[in-house]
Amino acid sequence: MTRPVAVAIAAPIEPDLVAVIREIGDRIKVVYRPELLPPTRYPGDHRGIDGFQRSAEQEIRWQASLAGAEVLLGIPGDSPEGLATVVHGLPTLRWVQGTAAGAGEQLKAAALTKAELNRITITSASGVHAGPLAEFCLFGLLAMSKGLPRMHADQLAHHWDHYPVAELRGHTLLVLGLGAVGTEVARLAKALGMHTLGLNRHGSSDSPDIDEAHPATSLEELLPRADAVVVTLPLTEETAGMLDARAFARMKPATLLVNVGRGGVIDEVALVDALRDHRVAGAVLDVFASEPLPKDSPLWDMPNVVVSPHTTALSQHENERIVALFIKNLRRYLEGKELINRIDPQLFY
């Protein structure tokens, strides 16, 4: 008789969701020791409070709970160091399901050996956060087009005036990155009457909400056409600094910019200059090159910038969606099928 696959849960999730995983049956053996995980700061927190440490006795129990695991749900501490530790210490480990869309960056930072990369499959939670992130992107476009910063300033000053505001309908949106987030952004934008341009490596999309799909090499041609740009890209050698001074110079002066991908895709010094010179009308940013955003960053105090502390992907429903993805992937794993969101160990996304 085939032995059940040992599944260890290394991220805090709700007990009822653990029960749903166990419903897969006797093909798996699930181990979950929530009392050995760091206390959470909010629903869906997978890192836990700062400074958490197990006692010597708890560490022994923790290691015992992981021993023999073939599958891991969550990366301990949601960190590259936690990933490296379990990969180094668990020779039986074959697959880790990350809880973040950026698990590829964690994998890269873990600096695993070639042999370890060949042994372990890492899958990300890409797509789980598409809904909340896309909503935030539309919030950003609406906030800036309707003049929210001016409204807020006038409210604080008790100032009353009449003036026209812009519309999104009939305007052109350029979406950089056509994964789950980018295509959901396009769907919502189409509902508001926008014309949607999409850009990815291959220049193609199956989404009916992308009016035109173009390859990354067409960026300079597309920027002058766009009234708004939404960034959903991962940070790679190809995307680092993609929106630089040259790119901002190609944009319309009234362009709106939203970034929910990775901060390093944008040259922040060039962005600040473009915002000051009104070559970019406004920016709504959830991600930054350095996080937390340094206290001396000019972005904090710019009137045409909205700063979000990399929090807009978080949702009270996040764990439900992660577990649903994990169960789908676990069934595929048990059947020997290719896993969803498998991270390329060469490209790290």
Q: Which residues are catalytic?
A: 262, 291, 310
Alpha-carbon span 315 to 43, nearest angstrom: 8
- CA distances for 342 relative to 5, 186, 329, 349, angstroms: 19, 24, 10, 8
The two structure tokens encoding residue 293: 């955003």
The two structure tokens encoding residue 200: 């990815």
- Residue 303 CA, distance from chain mean position: 26
- CA distances for 158 relative to 52, 73, 161, 302, 308, angstroms: 46, 52, 10, 20, 26
Q: Determine contact, residues 222/168, Cβ cutoff 8 Å.
A: no
Alpha-carbon span 6 to 199, nearest angstrom: 41
User: 68: alpha, beta or left, given left = phi > 0 and alpha = psi -120 to 50?
Assistant: left
249: Cβ contacts below 8 Å, ≥ 6 apart: 279
Alpha-carbon span 236 to 26, nearest angstrom: 40
Helix, strand, coil percentages, rounded to 5, for the chain? 40, 15, 45
